[in-house]
Amino acid sequence: MSQGGDKVFAGSIPQLYDEYLVPLIFEPYAEDLAARLAARNPGAVLEIAAGTGVVTRAMSKRLPASTSIVATDLNAPMIERAQATGTSRPVQWRTADAMSLPFDDGSFDAVACQFGAMFFPDKAKAYSEARRVLKPGGAFLFNVWDRIEDNEFADVVTQALAELFPADPPLFMARTPHGYFDRERILSDLAKGGFAHGASIDTVTHRSRADSARRPAVAYCEGTPLRNEIESREAGSLARATEHAERAIARRFGGGAVDGRIQAHVAVALR
């Protein structure tokens, strides 16, 4: 399967992503990003790669009602899911490509992006677009996953699928979500995107918890583009792959409630 499929969030993926993956790994980082934004007291915020809206919902609660929020994503099905879930106050939703933002220069006090930068085909170009739409002194806040070895459920699932498909292992998780973890590379890409003063990068660790091994297995195998890779290997193999991943998680973390390490970098770059 081509790596172009890494960006395809369609079919039932948005729903499963929102129901399973968001509470499993995204919510604590959404709260962290929203708190960092609130500390800056921005008047207008743009969110790029908003997905199903976990950060949007956190910002809606954290930021003053006077702060305008525009939330965008390249994938219309993800935005549609976010809109259907809703927020605690009005948000403007738009389908937009982070590589070519449909906004005027200097339109926002802050640009936020949760776990989207890994998917940008040209990181420096996306960063230059974020910088372009920022007002002078504005901030670009984003996070990316650390290496897969520091994110235990993703690592176990990837190893389990390599057992199931040894000739052509599905490596979406290692390749894309966990493929952009090098801090020096991130700083270099930001500099190429025009953030001449660099950025601060914090590494933040949380725990990922679920009531059973089944939930992370479904979250990763069926609620991400990893599903596309699995189904491309062998027709009708998704259920078998999910069950195999579930057994691997249970072997590692136990048959009841499971608890694994997750780790990400949080970057703040100033215009």
pLDDT of residue 3: 56
Residue 255 confidence (pLDDT):
86
Range of the structural domain that residue 116 is part of: 3-270
pLDDT for 178 = 98
Beta strands in 101-185 (DSSP E): 108-114, 134-145
Contact 114, 55 (CB under 8 A): yes
Return the pLDDT at 10.
Answer: 46
The residue-averaged pLDDT of 212-221 equals: 97
Name the least confident of 73-82, 111-120, 136-145, 152-161. 73-82
Average pLDDT over residues 260-267: 98
pLDDT for residue 66 is more than 50: yes
CA distance 57 to 241: 32
Of the pLDDT bands very low, low, confident and very high (cuts 50, 70, 90), residue 12 is low
d(CA 11, CA 9): 7
Q: How far apart are CA 226 and CA 170, in angstroms?
A: 7
| Confidence band of 226 (pLDDT split at 50, 70, 90) | very high
Which region among 4-18, 19-33, 83-97, 131-145 has the lowest average model confidence (pLDDT)?
A: 4-18
Residue 2 pLDDT: 42
The answer to whether 74 and 6 are in contact (CB under 8 A) is: no
197 burial level (CB within 10 Å; 0-12, 13-18, 19+): exposed
Per-residue confidence (pLDDT) for residue 263, from 0 to 100? 98
At residue 193's C-alpha, the angle toward residues 187 and 199, to 5°, is 35
pLDDT digits (tens, 9 = 90+) for 148-173: 999 999 999 999 999 999 999 999 99
Cα separation, 64 vs 84, whole angstroms: 22
> Mean pLDDT highest for which of 221-225, 232-236, 243-247?
243-247
Residue 257 identity? A
pLDDT at residue number 9? 54
The mean predicted confidence, pLDDT, of the chain is 94
Alpha-carbon distance values, 251 to 156, 221, 230 (Å): 10, 17, 21
Q: 220 with 21: CB under 8 angstroms?
A: yes
Strand order of the sheet with strand 68-73?
92-95, 68-73, 44-48, 108-114, 134-145, 258-270, 199-210
Q: How many domains does the chain have?
A: 1
The secondary structure of 32-69, three-state, reads HHHHHHHHHCCCEEEEECCCCCHHHHHHHHHCCCCCEE
Instruction: Determine contact, residues 73/51, Cβ cutoff 8 Å.
Output: yes
- Residue 42 CA to residue 175 CA, distance in Å, equals 34
> What is the pLDDT confidence band of residue 74, given thresholds at 50, 70 and 90?
very high
**pLDDT average, residue stretch 98-104:** 98
- pLDDT of 17 reads 87
Q: What is the CATH number of the domain that holds 170?
A: 3.40.50.150
Residue 11 has a pLDDT of: 60
Q: What secondary structure letter does DSSP report for 18? A: I
Q: How far is CA 51 from CA 85, 224, 241, in A?
A: 12, 11, 25
Say whether pLDDT at 8 is over 70: no
Cα gap 51→55, rounded to integer Å: 9
Going by pLDDT thresholds of 50, 70 and 90, the confidence category of residue 6 is very low
